[in-house]
C-alpha cells in the first residue's frame, strides 16, 4: 500500500540544530561539565569470575587522608534493573560476585591518585566458585548455578508456535537446516561512560548528569536504590557521545556515583576508562542458532523453525526482551504461514549483555537471510526473486499479532537491484569478487513500554511567551541521532514558522516532561507525533486569536510562512509575532501539552511475551553488498554497499541517510571484525585496538536511498530510520562471500582466519574427492 504523494526525494534535509556546538567544540559532554572541585570517583571491581566475598574491609581506605566516602554493597540493599520482572543485580555486589570486573566497592576522594590509593587499601578476600563462560558449559548437568533460583542457569526459555509447522514443512519442495552462530559484540560508543552526581546535604536534593539514553528510568532507579523521594532528584542529560543501546538501561556506575555523592556528601565525578566501559557491556550476546526453512520450487516459504541460544552474561538486564525480540521479529517482514521459535537465555560468568542497535533481531535475521539465500541457490532462484515471492500486503497483522500498516520492502528491493546493477553483474564478476543481498526490518518504538503505567507513550510540552519563540520541552534523549532536530522540524512545519523560531530543551527532569527515552527507535514515531499534537494545540490557540482580530471563524484561518491569514488570497493576514501578542493578552504565557498513545490493538498478541515486537510501524530495508575476497589471506574487503530504507516519510532526509549509513556500517563491523573475547572471564578486547571497529580506510562507500510509504499513523507518515538497515548487512556480506568464492560461512565475524579455515577445508575436500574419483575409475 504505497501512497506516494509526490517525488520529493530531492529535499536535502537540515543540519542538526545542535550541530554548531559539536563542530566548534562547545558541546559539553558529561566529562566536560564543570567539576573543578568535585570529588573523583573510582570503583573496585571483582578480580574473579565467580566468587563469594569472604571479607571486605574498607577501614584503611576510609582513614586515608583525602577520602570523602567509601561505599560497598552494604550501602545499597536494593536491586536495580530495567525489567520490573527481572531486577536481580545490585549496583555494588552483596556477598557474591558473578563476573570479573563486577563493582564491589567505590571511593570518592579529592583527586584521582588518592582515590586509586584508597582502592588499593581496601582489603578483599573472595572464595572462588566454579565459573562458566559458554552457554554449553553453563547448561551442562551439574554446572554451578549463578543464581540459586535459576536451575540449569536458564534465565528464560520461550516457546512460540504460530501456524502448523509440520504441515508447512510437508508442503515444501526443499527443506534445509543450518547452524549459525554470531560472536558477542559491543556498542563501543566513542564517549566512555561518565556520571556527575551532586548531593546537597542541606536541601537533601540530588542532581545527576549522566550519559544516559533513559533519564526517566535512571530517575526511578536512583529513587529506588537511594530510597529517596523522586521529587528530590533531578536527572539531566548533557550532550551524549553515542548510545546504540549501551545506555538504554540504568548502569551500575550511575547509581554508585549517586551513592558516593550522598555519602560524601558533595559532588562526585565518575569517569570510567575505556576498559571499564567495555566491562559495563550490555551489548549483543553471543548467539547459537539452528534455523530450518521449508520452500516451494517458486521460492515461497512454507514454514520456519528457529532455535536461539543467547549467552546472556551474569545478570538479567534486558535479556528476556532480547530473547523475545529474536523470535518475534522472525515475523513482520515476509509472509510466512507457520513459524516455530524456541529461545534460551543462559546465565554465564561474563559481563551482562543487553540491548544493542537492532535489539534481538540482528542475529536471527542473519541466520534466516543466509539460509534463504542458500536455498534459493539450490533451487536455481535469484536472491531477489525468492524475497519477492514472500512479500506481505499492508495493512495486515502477522501470525503473532503485530500490525503492519505500511510496507515498502518491494520498492526497497527494486531500488537496490537497479542501483547495484544486480541483473547485469550478479554471477558475472571476476574471480574473488561477489555480490550478496539481504533484507531487514525494525520496530518504530515498542507499542507497550517496559514500565507500563497507562500514561501516554509520549508527551511534548510547547511554550510560547513574550519573545515570540516557540520552546519545545521534551524528555527525549538526543544522543546524536538528531531527535531534538526532528522535534523542532515537527513543530515548525505544523505552525508554519521557520526552524529558527523553535528552540528545543531536552532531557532535564526539572523542566521537561517525562519521556521513556531513546530506545526501540521510538522517538521519531512517538515523540514526533506528540510534538505535532502540541504544535496543533498552539496553532488552535493562535488561530482563535487571529480569528477574533480578523473577525472570522478560527476554522477559516490558515497559517504558513510566519503568518495567519484567511483564504487563499491572503487579503487579510497577520504576522506570527502579532498573533502571539494577541493570544498572550487573552491568556498570558502559554504552555500546551501534546501527547501520543499507541492504541491497545497495536500492543501485540495475547500470548506470553506477545508485547515484545509490537509497534505501530515497521521500517524495511534491503541492501546489496559487493566484496572482494583475497583467497591467499582470507581477507574480505567491502567495495560498495547499496541500500534502501522504507522510513515512511523522511522528516529530515539528510539525517535519515546518516542513520542508514551508520547502521549499515555498524552491521559491517559485526560482520567483519568486531568480537569480544574472554580468557577465563578476563576480557581480551577491552580497548579500541583489540576490539576492531572498522576505520575510515576499511569502510566502503554506502549509497543510501529512501523509500517513502507514508505510514498512516506516523508523524507526517514517518517511521524509524536508525536500526532497520543494520541486520541486513551481515547476511548480505556472507551471501556475497559465498557468491565470490563459493563458501558458505556459518560464523560471525568473517575474519581472515575463519575464511582461511573454510577455504582450506574446501580445498582438502576437493583433493579427497579427486583422489576418490581416481581410485574409482
Partner 1 sequence: MADDLEKLQTLDFGHGCGVRNGRNLSEGEKIAVVPSKRDAFMQTGTARPKPRKRILSLTLNGRQREDAVSENLLLVDFIRRVAGLTGVKTGCDGGECGACTILIDGQAVPSCITLAVRCEGRNIETIEGLVKQGRPSRLQRAFHERLGAQCGFCTPGMIMSAEALLRRNPNPDDAEIRTALSGNLCRCTGYVKIVESVRTAAREPS
- What is d(CA 402, CA 264) in angstroms, rounded to the nearest whole number? 50
Looking up cell 531486577 gives 87
Of 65 and 148, nearer to partner 1 (C-beta) is 65
User: Under a CB-based contact definition with an 8 Å cutoff, are residues 506 and 475 in contact?
Assistant: yes
Question: CB of 126: closest distance to partner 1 in angstroms?
Answer: 5
Of 288 and 674, nearer to partner 1 (C-beta) is 674
Of 386 and 477, nearer to partner 1 (C-beta) is 477
Q: What is the DSSP string of 490-502?
A: HHHHHHT--GGGE
Of 121 and 580, nearer to partner 1 (C-beta) is 121
Q: What is the DSSP string of 38-59?
A: PEEEEEEE-SSSSEEEEEEE-H
Looking up cell 574419483 gives 773
User: Under a CB-based contact definition with an 8 Å cutoff, are residues 706 and 9 in contact?
Assistant: yes
Question: CB of 52: closest distance to partner 1 in angstroms?
Answer: 10
CA angle 128, 134, 135 (to 5 degrees): 115
Of 63 and 77, nearer to partner 1 (C-beta) is 63
Could you tell me the sign of the dihedral formed by the alpha carbons of 479, 685, 144, 180, in that order?
positive
Question: CB of 2: closest distance to partner 1 in angstroms?
Answer: 27
Question: CB of 17: closest distance to partner 1 in angstroms?
Answer: 11
Question: CB of 718: closest distance to partner 1 in angstroms?
Answer: 18
Q: What is the DSSP string of 145-212?
A: PSSTTSGGGEEEEEEEEES-HHHHHHT-SEEEEEEEEE-------SSPPEEEEEEETTTTEEEEEE--
DSSP tag of 716: G
Strand partners, 502: 470
Of 56 and 392, nearer to partner 1 (C-beta) is 56
- What is d(CA 150, CA 661) in angstroms, rounded to the nearest whole number? 41
Cα separation values, 357 from 185, 450, 472, 518, 756, Å = 11, 17, 27, 11, 30
Cα separation values, 154 from 140, 316, 382, Å = 11, 11, 41
Of 348 and 405, nearer to partner 1 (C-beta) is 348
Question: CB of 333: closest distance to partner 1 in angstroms?
Answer: 23
Of 169 and 665, nearer to partner 1 (C-beta) is 665
Question: CB of 359: closest distance to partner 1 in angstroms?
Answer: 17
Cβ neighbors of 27 (< 8 A, separation 6 or more) are: 18, 21, 239
**Where does residue 558 fall: left (phi above 0), alpha (psi -120 to 50 degrees), or beta otherwise?**
beta
Question: CB of 112: closest distance to partner 1 in angstroms?
Answer: 7
| Three-state secondary structure call for residue 24 | helix
- What is d(CA 393, CA 6) in angstroms, rounded to the nearest whole number? 22
Question: CB of 284: closest distance to partner 1 in angstroms?
Answer: 14
Of 48 and 592, nearer to partner 1 (C-beta) is 48
Of 256 and 741, nearer to partner 1 (C-beta) is 256
Of 108 and 611, nearer to partner 1 (C-beta) is 108
- What is d(CA 325, CA 333) in angstroms, rounded to the nearest whole number? 13
Of 227 and 680, nearer to partner 1 (C-beta) is 680
Question: CB of 137: closest distance to partner 1 in angstroms?
Answer: 17
Question: CB of 57: closest distance to partner 1 in angstroms?
Answer: 12
- Judged on CB neighbours under 10 Å (0-12, 13-18, 19+), 637 is middle
Question: CB of 693: closest distance to partner 1 in angstroms?
Answer: 5
Grid cell digits, residue 569: 488570497
Amino acid at each position: 500500500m504505497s501512497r506516494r504523494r509526490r517525488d520529493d526525494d530531492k529535499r536535502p534535509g537540515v543540519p542538526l540544530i545542535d550541530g554548531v556546538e559539536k563542530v566548534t567544540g562547545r558541546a559539553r559532554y558529561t566529562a566536560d561539565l564543570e567539576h573543578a572541585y568535585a570529588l573523583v570517583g573510582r570503583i573496585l571491581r571483582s578480580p574473579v569470575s565467580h566468587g563469594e566475598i569472604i571479607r571486605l574491609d574498607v577501614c584503611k581506605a576510609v582513614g586515608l587522608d583525602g577520602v570523602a566516602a567509601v561505599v560497598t554493597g552494604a550501602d545499597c540493599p536494593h536491586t536495580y534493573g530495567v525489567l520490573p520482572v527481572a531486577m536481580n543485580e545490585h549496583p555494588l555486589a552483596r556477598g557474591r560476585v558473578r563476573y570479573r570486573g563486577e563493582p564491589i566497592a567505590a571511593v570518592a576522594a579529592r583527586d584521582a591518585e588518592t582515590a586509586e590509593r584508597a582502592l588499593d587499601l581496601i582489603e578483599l578476600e573472595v572464595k572462588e566458585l566454579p565459573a562458566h563462560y559458554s552457554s554449553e558449559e553453563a547448561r551442562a548437568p551439574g554446572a554451578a548455578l549463578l543464581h540459586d533460583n535459576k536451575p540449569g542457569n536458564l534465565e528464560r526459555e520461550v516457546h512460540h508456535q504460530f501456524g502448523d509447522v509440520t504441515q508447512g514443512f510437508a508442503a515444501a519442495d526443499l527443506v534445509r537446516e543450518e547452524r549459525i552462530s554470531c560472536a558477542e559484540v559491543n556498542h563501543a560508543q566513542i564517549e566512555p561512560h561518565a556520571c556527575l552526581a551532586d548531593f546537597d546535604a542541606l536541601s537533601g536534593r540530588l542532581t545527576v548528569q549522566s550519559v544516559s539514553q533513559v533519564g526517566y528510568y535512571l530517575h526511578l532507579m536512583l529513587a529506588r536504590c537511594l530510597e529517596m523521594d523522586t521529587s528530590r532528584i533531578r536527572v539531566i542529560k548533557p550532550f551524549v557521545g553515542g548510545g546504540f543501546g549501551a545506555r538504554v538501561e540504568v548502569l551500575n556506575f550511575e547509581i554508585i556515583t549517586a551513592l558516593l555523592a550522598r555519602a560524601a556528601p558533595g559532588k562526585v565525578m565518575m569517569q570510567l576508562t575505556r576498559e571499564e566501559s567495555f566491562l559495563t557491556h550490555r551489548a549483543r550476546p553471543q548467539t547459537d542458532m539452528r534455523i530450518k526453512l521449508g520452500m516451494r520450487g517458486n521460492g515461497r516459504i512454507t514454514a520456519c523453525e528457529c532455535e536461539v541460544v543467547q549467552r546472556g552474561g551474569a545478570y538479567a538486564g534486558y535479556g528476556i526482551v532480547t530473547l523475545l525480540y529474536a523470535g518475534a521479529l522472525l515475523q513482520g517482514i515476509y509472509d510466512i504461514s507457520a513459524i516455530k521459535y524456541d529461545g534460551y537465555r543462559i546465565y554465564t560468568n561474563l559481563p551482562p549483555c543487553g540491548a544493542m542497535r537492532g535489539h534481538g533481531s540482528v542475529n536471527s535475521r542473519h541466520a534466516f537471510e543466509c539460509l534463504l539465500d542458500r536455498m534459493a541457490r539450490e533451487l536455481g532462484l535469484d536472491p531477489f526473486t525468492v524475497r519477492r515471492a514472500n512479500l506481505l500486503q499492508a495493512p495486515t497483522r502477522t501470525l503473532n499479532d503485530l500490525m503492519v500498516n505500511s510496507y515498502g520492502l518491494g520498492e526497497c528491493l527494486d531500488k537496490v537491484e537497479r542501483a547495484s546493477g544486480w541483473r547485469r553483474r550478479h554471477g558475472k564478476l571476476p574471480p574473488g569478487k561477489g555480490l550478496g543481498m539481504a533484507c531487514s526490518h525494525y520496530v518504530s518504538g515498542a507499542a507497550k513500554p517496559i514500565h507500563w503505567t497507562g500514561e501516554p507513550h509520549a508527551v511534548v510540552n510547547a511554550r510560547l511567551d513574550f519573545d515570540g519563540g516557540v520552546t519545545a520541552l521534551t524528555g527525549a534523549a538526543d544522543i546524536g541521532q538528531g531527535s531534538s532536530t526532528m522535534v523542532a522540524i515537527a513543530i515548525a512545519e505544523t505552525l508554519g514558522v521557520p526552524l529558527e523560531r523553535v528552540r528545543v530543551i531536552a532531557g532535564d527532569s526539572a523542566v521537561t516532561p517525562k519521556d521513556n527515552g531513546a530506545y526501540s527507535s521510538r522517538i521519531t514515531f512517538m515523540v514526533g507525533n506528540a510534538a505535532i499534537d502540541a504544535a496543533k494545540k498552539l496553532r488552535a490557540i493562535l488561530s482563535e486569536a487571529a480569528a477574533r482580530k480578523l473577525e472570522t471563524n478560527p476554522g477559516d484561518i490558515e497559517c504558513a510562512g510566519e503568518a495567519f491569514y484567511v483564504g487563499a488570497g491572503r487579503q487579510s493576514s497577520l504576522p506570527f509575532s502579532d498573533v502571539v501578542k494577541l493570544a498572550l493578552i487573552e491568556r498570558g504565557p502559554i504552555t500546551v501539552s501534546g501527547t501520543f498513545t499507541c492504541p491497545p490493538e497495536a500492543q501485540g498478541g495475547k500470548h506470553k511475551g506477545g508485547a515484545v515486537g509490537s509497534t505501530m510501524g515497521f521500517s524495511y530495508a534491503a541492501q546489496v553488498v559487493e566484496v572482494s575476497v583475497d583467497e591467499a589471506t582470507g581477507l574480505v574487503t567491502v567495495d560498495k554497499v547499496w541500500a534502501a530504507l522504507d522510513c515512511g516519510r523522511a522528516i529530515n532526509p539528510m539525517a535519515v541517510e546518516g542513520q542508514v549509513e551508520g547502521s549499515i556500517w555498524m552491521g559491517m563491523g559485526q560482520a567483519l571484525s568486531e568480537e569480544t573475547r574472554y580468557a577465563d572471564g578476563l576480557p581480551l578486547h577491552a580497548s579500541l585496538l583489540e576490539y576492531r571497529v572498522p576505520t575510515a580506510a576499511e569502510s566502503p562507500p554506502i549509497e543510501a536511498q529512501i523509500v517513502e510509504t507514508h505510514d498512516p499513523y506516523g508523524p507526517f507518515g514517518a517511521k524509524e530510520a536508525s536500526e532497520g538497515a543494520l541486520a541486513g548487512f551481515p547476511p548480505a556480506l556472507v551471501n556475497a562471500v559465498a557468491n565470490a568464492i563459493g563458501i558458505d560461512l556459518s560464523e560471525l565475524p568473517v575474519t581472515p582466519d575463519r575464511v582461511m579455515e573454510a577455504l582450506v577445508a574446501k580445498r582438502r575436500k576437493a583433493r579427497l574427492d579427486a583422489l576418490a574419483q581416481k581410485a574409482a575409475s
